[in-house]
Amino acid sequence: MRSRILGYHEIVEGPSDSFYSLSAEQFSHQLAVFNALATAGGPAVDITFDDGHASNARVAAPLLHAHARTARFFVTAGWIGQREGFMSWAELGELARQGHQVGCHGLTHRFLTQLDTADLRAELRDARRLLEDRLGQAVTGISLPGGRCNRRVLDMCAETGYQRVYGSVPWKEGGDRAGIAFEGRLVMNRKMSQAWLQRYVRGDLAPYLAIRTLHTTRETLKSLLGDRLYHRAWSLLTGRSGMQANAR
């Protein structure tokens, strides 16, 4: 089943030069189209953000407010108030007060599939504790850094108190299991045309099948190159720095 949950990263003022960043103008236009579709009886979409970029609070939140929408913000807990270009705790708290949901995107953004059991447990548990302590509210949703997912990761998400896991492909990966629900997402990039996106949201098969084909190709490359080398190549192609810490 194709998901209408959308996964954004940065929203930038002016033109975007990174594959996963959208301009404020592009994002605002998409929100207007989603609202028009819903008003006309069409499908609703859910909006999520990954990583915790400062632009989420400074650029995206005012646009969401202008279009009477709320979103889910999955943040890399260890980067909040610590890392240049990412939100402060005050900004994240303000998003929560505005009615947005806050979720976890790991503590350090390391790919969860690459951690041993002790590190995996600490990464998930400490991130949730830090967010809950600083925000004073329960955090039960997590999006997986780099979309990297397997059974071991999902089981540990359940063990460390998460109830809902968000991936980076628009179908269920790993499926529901005891104590945890998996949500697929369409990861947004600046190359998606408005017409393509509308076809996708309306449920046309062609854009969905194109995503599945691209995913199969990428998974094949990943298995040929190994995940680390694959990720370096993909980061270079998409204008990211090549550091795992900056991965989607």
Which residues contribute to the site for Zn ion (CB under 5 A)?
Answer: 50-51, 145, 248
51 vs 173, which CB is nearer to Zn ion?
51
- Report which of 209, 208, 164, 163 is spatially closest to residue 186, judged by C-alpha positions: 208
46 vs 50, which CB is nearer to Zn ion?
50
Give least dist CB 110 to Zn ion, A: 11
Give least dist CB 234 to Zn ion, A: 13
50 vs 123, which CB is nearer to Zn ion?
50
Which class for 22: exposed (0-12), middle (13-18), buried (19 or more C-beta within 10 A)? Answer: buried
Residue 224's alpha-carbon distances to 218, 221, 235, in angstroms, are: 10, 5, 17
72 vs 248, which CB is nearer to Zn ion?
248
4 vs 9, which CB is nearer to Zn ion?
9
79 vs 208, which CB is nearer to Zn ion?
79
Residue 169's alpha-carbon distances to 4, 7, 242, in angstroms, are: 11, 10, 21
93 vs 145, which CB is nearer to Zn ion?
145
Residues 113 and 95: beta-carbon distance below 8 Å: no
Give least dist CB 24 to Zn ion, A: 20
Give least dist CB 71 to Zn ion, A: 15
Give least dist CB 51 to Zn ion, A: 5
Give least dist CB 50 to Zn ion, A: 4
Give least dist CB 248 to Zn ion, A: 5
